[in-house]
Amino acid sequence: MIIDLTSITMCLFLKIKKLVQLLLLVILSLNLNAQQFGFLNDQIIEIIENGDTLKNPWAGGLNFCQFSSIDLNHDGQDDLMVFDRSGNRIIPFINNGLLNTID
Protein backbone atom coordinates (compact mmCIF):
# COMPACT_ATOMS: atom_id res chain seq x y z
CA MET A 1 0.00 0.00 0.00
CA ILE A 2 1.51 3.28 -1.09
CA ILE A 3 0.67 6.40 0.91
CA ASP A 4 0.77 9.69 -0.93
CA LEU A 5 2.41 12.12 1.51
CA THR A 6 1.79 15.16 -0.65
CA SER A 7 -2.00 14.72 -0.53
CA ILE A 8 -1.94 14.12 3.26
CA THR A 9 0.27 17.18 3.75
CA MET A 10 -1.98 19.27 1.52
CA CYS A 11 -5.11 18.16 3.40
CA LEU A 12 -3.48 18.95 6.75
CA PHE A 13 -2.37 22.34 5.44
CA LEU A 14 -5.93 23.23 4.35
CA LYS A 15 -7.36 22.22 7.73
CA ILE A 16 -4.80 24.35 9.57
CA LYS A 17 -5.49 27.25 7.21
CA LYS A 18 -9.24 27.07 7.95
CA LEU A 19 -8.55 26.86 11.68
CA VAL A 20 -6.30 29.95 11.54
CA GLN A 21 -8.95 31.86 9.56
CA LEU A 22 -11.60 30.95 12.12
CA LEU A 23 -9.33 31.98 14.97
CA LEU A 24 -8.61 35.35 13.32
CA LEU A 25 -12.33 35.92 12.77
CA VAL A 26 -13.09 35.25 16.45
CA ILE A 27 -10.27 37.54 17.63
CA LEU A 28 -11.35 40.37 15.32
CA SER A 29 -15.00 40.10 16.35
CA LEU A 30 -14.04 40.26 20.05
CA ASN A 31 -11.95 43.35 19.36
CA LEU A 32 -14.87 45.09 17.63
CA ASN A 33 -17.20 44.47 20.57
CA ALA A 34 -14.70 45.97 23.02
CA GLN A 35 -15.11 49.50 21.64
CA GLN A 36 -17.80 51.33 23.61
CA PHE A 37 -19.51 54.60 22.70
CA GLY A 38 -21.24 56.84 25.18
CA PHE A 39 -22.00 60.38 26.24
CA LEU A 40 -20.71 62.35 29.19
CA ASN A 41 -23.30 64.42 31.05
CA ASP A 42 -21.40 67.70 31.50
CA GLN A 43 -23.35 70.66 32.91
CA ILE A 44 -20.35 72.96 33.42
CA ILE A 45 -20.91 74.80 30.13
CA GLU A 46 -22.51 78.23 30.66
CA ILE A 47 -25.40 79.24 28.40
CA ILE A 48 -25.77 82.98 27.88
CA GLU A 49 -28.96 84.44 26.39
CA ASN A 50 -29.36 88.20 25.85
CA GLY A 51 -26.37 88.84 28.11
CA ASP A 52 -27.79 86.82 31.02
CA THR A 53 -26.39 83.47 32.14
CA LEU A 54 -29.16 80.88 32.46
CA LYS A 55 -29.21 79.12 35.85
CA ASN A 56 -30.49 75.70 34.71
CA PRO A 57 -30.17 75.52 30.93
CA TRP A 58 -30.22 71.71 30.83
CA ALA A 59 -33.29 71.19 33.03
CA GLY A 60 -35.74 71.23 30.11
CA GLY A 61 -37.65 68.36 28.61
CA LEU A 62 -39.67 67.51 31.70
CA ASN A 63 -42.86 65.51 31.15
CA PHE A 64 -45.38 64.15 33.70
CA CYS A 65 -43.59 65.73 36.67
CA GLN A 66 -44.30 65.37 40.35
CA PHE A 67 -43.07 68.24 42.53
CA SER A 68 -42.16 67.86 46.20
CA SER A 69 -40.69 70.19 48.78
CA ILE A 70 -38.05 68.63 51.01
CA ASP A 71 -35.08 69.88 53.00
CA LEU A 72 -32.28 68.17 51.06
CA ASN A 73 -29.24 69.83 52.63
CA HIS A 74 -30.61 70.20 56.20
CA ASP A 75 -30.38 74.00 56.26
CA GLY A 76 -33.98 74.56 57.45
CA GLN A 77 -35.17 75.70 54.00
CA ASP A 78 -37.40 73.63 51.76
CA ASP A 79 -35.75 72.63 48.47
CA LEU A 80 -37.52 71.46 45.33
CA MET A 81 -37.47 67.81 44.26
CA VAL A 82 -38.81 67.05 40.77
CA PHE A 83 -39.57 63.50 39.67
CA ASP A 84 -40.17 63.02 35.93
CA ARG A 85 -42.33 59.91 35.62
CA SER A 86 -41.78 59.54 31.86
CA GLY A 87 -37.99 59.36 32.14
CA ASN A 88 -37.72 58.07 35.73
CA ARG A 89 -35.45 61.02 36.55
CA ILE A 90 -35.06 62.70 39.91
CA ILE A 91 -33.91 66.32 39.65
CA PRO A 92 -33.10 68.20 42.88
CA PHE A 93 -33.07 72.01 43.09
CA ILE A 94 -31.36 73.49 46.17
CA ASN A 95 -32.92 76.67 47.60
CA ASN A 96 -30.11 79.09 48.44
CA GLY A 97 -32.46 82.03 49.15
CA LEU A 98 -34.23 83.26 52.24
CA LEU A 99 -36.91 81.33 54.11
CA ASN A 100 -40.18 80.98 52.15
CA THR A 101 -38.68 82.59 49.03
CA ILE A 102 -37.66 81.03 45.73
CA ASP A 103 -34.04 81.30 44.71
Task: Give tens-digit pLDDT for 39-91.
Answer: 777 777 888 889 999 887 877 778 889 999 999 888 888 889 999 998 888 98
Give the model's pLDDT for residue 36. 66
28 half-sphere exposure, CB direction, 13 A CA radius: 6
Is the domain of 2 the same as that of 29? yes
Same domain, 58 and 89: yes
- What's residue 100's pLDDT? 66
**How far apart (Å, rounded) are the C-alpha atoms in residues 14 and 8?**
10
Would residue 48 count as lying in a domain? no
Is the per-residue pLDDT at 1 higher than 80? Answer: no
End-to-end alpha-carbon separation of the chain, Å? Answer: 99
Task: Determine, yes or no, domain membership for 87.
Answer: yes
Number of structural domains found in the chain: 2
Q: Could you tell me if residue 61 is inside a domain?
A: yes
Residue 72 belongs to domain spanning: 54-93
pLDDT interval class at 2 (50, 70, 90) = low
Question: Residue 38 above 60 pLDDT?
Answer: yes
Give 18-26 contacts, CB < 8 A, sequence gap 24+. none
Looking at residue 13, its pLDDT comes to 83
Q: Which residues contact 50 (CB under 8 A, 6 or more apart)?
A: none
Nearest CA among 100, 40, 38 for reference residue 69: 100
How many CB atoms sit inside 10 A of residue 32's CB?
Answer: 7
Q: What is the pTM of this model?
A: 0.45
